[in-house]
Structure 1
Amino acid sequence: MLEKEVEVGFTASFKTQITDQMVRKFADVSGDHNPIHLDDEYAKNTRFKRRIAHGMIVGALISRALVDGIGRGGIYMGQNLKFVNPVYIDDVVTVTIKITNIRREKGIAMVETNATKENGDIVVKGEAMIMMAAPGEYV
């Protein structure tokens, strides 16, 4: 069951800092050891001039926002993401979700998913489709 009743227009957000430890752990879990994420010397010679976080770290944070914002027990069915600006180590990112459509008869919702840095730069834009938890399915 949902922890709270949600309707079209419902929004939720949270803020988190992207740390070096987070990036290194994500590299180990994903196997993506691209030096742009891990090597300061390498990154100095790129267009970014310093290390950037894996874009999918923000994707994972969107998953967290869906659970924390809408409620546990739902299922992630799909996600499109557009990586607009880089996220650097130590950036603080705010992930915001907004329900844009609910098909109650199917228990499916469409959710706008965005992430921004403290300076207002959008870093990720996207949309998710989720299967909302049905009454009695909450665990």
Structure 2
Amino acid sequence: MSKVPLKIGDHTTFTKTISESDVYMFVGITGDFNRFHIDEEYMKSTKFEQRIAPGLLSVGFSTAAATALLNDLDMGAVSYGYDKLRFIRPTFIGDTITVQYTVKDIDDENLTAISNVRIYNQHGKLCTSIKHIVKFFEL
């Protein structure tokens, strides 16, 4: 019997529309005042034609999916790290993203689970891909 309280294939989703206030709160907290995120006039002159939400903002939303899967377990769980983070296409203010979080591997010896995290926009296009590692511990 597995010591890790998840099984391969466990999954959840989280959906959120990225608002202008989400972006401004994120850049205010992190100090990431890149003009791609905040300068609407400048971005109109680029191939993107609009402001791009910070990539790490969408990664932050992936924690909501992880929490939904991990919150009610009989063991404690913390994020142990992220691997293979890729920003495949931008997300924009006004995009509705869906985080798909799926457990892909269990390591009972180290009490970890590795999950694939895929973040799609409202058009079903993959925007972000991550492997999330969770470490479990007795409460």
Give TM-score scaled by structure 1 length.
Answer: 0.88
Match for residue 83 of structure 1?
Answer: 87
Sequence identity of aligned pairs in percent? 25
CA separation of 1:79/1:71 partners in 2, compared to 1, >3 Å: closer, same or farther?
same
Specify every segment of 5 or more residues in structure 2 that has no aligned partner in the other structure, as ranges: none
Give TM-score scaled by structure 2 length.
Answer: 0.88
List per-residue Cα deviations over 1:15-47 (Å, max 9, x = no partner). Answer: 001000000000001100011111110111122
Specify every segment of 5 or more residues in structure 1 that has no aligned partner in the other structure, as ranges: none
Does residue 124 of structure 2 align to residue 120 of structure 1?
yes
Q: Is the 8 A contact 1:13 1:69 kept in 2?
A: no
Match for residue 132 of structure 1?
Answer: 136
Count of residue pairs brought into register by the alignment:
131
Q: Is the 8 A contact 2:14 2:62 kept in 1?
A: no
List per-residue Cα deviations over 1:43-84 (Å, max 9, x = no partner). Answer: 111221100100000111112211112326411111131001
Q: Quick one: distance in 1 between partners of 2:35 and 2:131?
A: 29
Q: Quick one: distance in 2 between partners of 1:11 and 1:133?
A: 20
Match for residue 107 of structure 2?
Answer: 103
Q: Quick one: distance in 2 between partners of 1:46 and 1:76?
A: 36
Alpha-carbon RMSD: 1.4
